Amino acid sequence: MASSPTPTRDDFEAMLNDALGGADGGFEGRVVKGTVTLIENDHAVIDVGLKSEGRVPLREFSTPGKKTELNVGDEVEVFVDRIENVNGEAMLSHDRARREAAWDKLEGEFEAENRVDGIIFGRVKGGFTVDLGGAVAFLPGSQVDVRPVRDVGPLMDIAQPFVILKMDRRRGNIVVSRRAILEETRAEQRSGLIQSLTEGQVTEGVVKNITDYGAFVDLGGIDGLLHVTDISYKRINHPSEIIAIGDTVKVQIVRINRDTQRISLGMKQLESDPWEGAIAKYPVGARLSGAVTNITEYGAFIELEAGIEGLVHVSEMSWTKKNVHPGKIVSTSQEVDVVVLDVDLDKRRISLGLKQAQDNPWEAFSQKFPVGTEVEGEVKNATEFGLFIGLDGDVDGMVHMSDIAWGISGEDALHLHRKGEMVKAVVLDIDAEKERISLGIKQLEKGAPAAAGAADTSGLKKGATATVTVLEVRDGGLEVQVGEDGATGFIKRTDLGRDRDEQRPDRFQNGQKLDAMVIGFDRSKKPNFSVKALQLAEEKQAVEQYGSSDSGASLGDILGAALKKTKD
């Protein structure tokens, strides 16, 4: 009988593997149960039924927020990474065992859209780490709460529910949200709470947040908006002037939108309305004092009392400053006197006038410089129809181009004066209501009446004939005077005669007397004469007296007879 060969080391290993169920014994990559045989040097020695035991760090048996006590003889689950390492020990991991079990469970919860419990135990870039029973998930910072959380410390190391937003087992990624849980809970609370609230109800709340347009007040699980215009009847620029975060305030529910679950709140509604009786307190024409609270392009708001403001429109701010920004006339917080112009109680508007509380400069000017007074001022501007002269009281007067100079056209007269020149003039007319002052410069020239409207016309009427004396010969005509101390007037070049040769002013001399007809009066009631009109009138009269259409007499015969009669 032949003897069998002596077994080698490899033969023993093969027999052991067969006994354990294959090359890896079916253990590698699996979660198995083992028994703690020894605890030493922060490690637990665990027997899982392999040819050698494995060592697992004790820290793997502790979970975030909870430390687990491990004793010899305890049965635990571990993940078999390798049956034997270089030291001949089995490579085991309790963390891997928990993670694999957790992933299996979490996948089922994710598919069923169920909540899962977890513990926030660490901080990473952009968020936090959450332990989901062995699997580590990422909690983005935006998913921690419905509002930004400055201190997440009180939320760490405590078990709380989460919603799984995304899972990828191959990459080992899990993303969870705590905010989704809070929003769902708040929605349930809001739905129940909003049904218990009614419009007009007075309640208390805590100021949670403040913005430029108002504040959000927590009413015990549901927030309401307290708009800045509903905080106080008086004007406030920012809600922080009245309230602060954390303040407990009493508010009235102004409006509830149950579809959008939005609540509008008010504080001023709990105060007495200052507009009640405003018409009696602020009658039209009343003179009041107030402080400038706000300045805009179209005017300034004046606070008459707490909660009541009036508007001074830019057109009612100054008698003389036109098209000027209100900020150049008044400043914020300035105390000013105003006059009530109009009150609209329905729209809660009061129109005020700033200039009405000051003296009307045109009325003051008319009292100081009545019609006929000589004044002096600077030429502020020249237009196509006249000159504007700056006068006392910061008002302007206008010299119409026909009142600038005698004997020349208005267009030519406009070129006689330039901007910035000081000139003298006579007050011709004042209309304080229309804010107009009419001036005349030519009325101060030689031969003009001492004051506008004071010319001695000696009973002259339009169409009357008068003997006048030439005072001055000009290119445009003759300056003449009736009698010794009579009214002065003017004869234009074209009115010196019928023929062109007769229309030459240089054929007359100062002191020469001639007959002329009154053809009208200018704005200063100064008469205008015409030799030409007198000639035509005499010719017409001669025809009527000495000839007819069928007499056969010539115009020369008629005029000769008329002249002979005049001579006789």
Structure tokens at 67: 């430390």
Close Cβ partners of 61 (under 8 Å, ≥ 6 residues apart): 44, 68, 70, 76, 94
In this prediction, residue 1 carries a pLDDT of 44
For residue 451, the one-letter residue type is A
In this prediction, residue 48 carries a pLDDT of 72
In this prediction, residue 2 carries a pLDDT of 46
Q: Please spell the DSSP secondary structure of 163-227, one letter per residue.
A: EEEEEETTTTEEEEESHHHHHHHHHHHHHHHHHH--TT-EEEEEEEEEETTEEEEE-SSSEEEEE
Start and end residues for every CATH 2.40.50.140 domain found in the chain: 22-97, 113-182, 197-270, 278-357, 361-444, 465-542
The domain defined by 465-542 carries CATH number 2.40.50.140: yes
Secondary element (H or E) of residue 55: strand 54-57
- Provide the whole-model pTM: 0.43
pLDDT band at 449 (very low <50, low <70, confident <90, very high): very low
In this prediction, residue 3 carries a pLDDT of 46
411-418: long-range contacts, CB 8 A cutoff, minimum separation 24:
413/442, 414/382, 414/384, 414/386, 414/387, 417/379, 417/382, 417/387, 417/441, 418/379, 418/382
CA distance 173 to 440: 96
In this prediction, residue 151 carries a pLDDT of 85
**What mean pLDDT do residues 325-331 have?**
89
For residue 345, the one-letter residue type is L
Is pLDDT of 64 > 70? no
**192-201, 248-257, 306-315: lowest mean pLDDT where?**
192-201
Q: Which CATH class is domain 22-97?
A: mainly beta
Most confident of 217-221, 550-554, 557-561: 217-221
**What mean pLDDT do residues 387-399 have?**
88
The CATH architecture to which 278-357 belongs is Beta Barrel (2.40)
pLDDT band at 549 (very low <50, low <70, confident <90, very high): very low
Reference 401, options 563, 533, 265, 523; nearest CA is 523
pLDDT digits (tens, 9 = 90+) for 208-233: 899 999 999 988 778 889 999 888 88
pLDDT digits (tens, 9 = 90+) for 142-190: 998 888 888 888 888 888 999 999 988 888 889 999 998 888 877 777 7
pLDDT greater at residue 24 or residue 382: 382
CA geometry: angle 431, 436, 438, nearest 5 deg? 95
Region 197-270: CATH code: 2.40.50.140
**What mean pLDDT do residues 101-121 have?**
86
Q: What is the 3-state secondary structure (H, E, C) of 396-436?
A: EEEEEHHHCCCCCCHHHHHCCCCCCCEEEEEEEEEECCCCE
54 CA to centre of own chain: 76
CA distance 376 to 124: 85
In this prediction, residue 216 carries a pLDDT of 92
Q: Are 439 and 399 in contact (CB under 8 A)?
A: yes
In this prediction, residue 60 carries a pLDDT of 65
**What mean pLDDT do residues 62-90 have?**
67
Q: What is the 3-state secondary structure (H, E, C) of 312-333?
A: EEHHHCCCCCCCCCHHHCCCCC
- Residues 113-182: name the CATH superfamily: Nucleic acid-binding proteins (2.40.50.140)
Mean pLDDT across the chain: 80
CA Rg value for the chain: 55
Q: Are 309 and 347 in contact (CB under 8 A)?
A: no
Question: Is the CA virtual torsion 241, 246, 249, 252 positive or negative?
Answer: positive
The domain defined by 361-444 carries CATH number 3.40.50.720: no
pLDDT digits (tens, 9 = 90+) for 348-369: 888 998 888 888 888 888 888 8
**What mean pLDDT do residues 73-88 have?**
67
CA distance 375 to 28: 118
pLDDT greater at residue 359 or residue 51: 359
For residue 426, the one-letter residue type is V
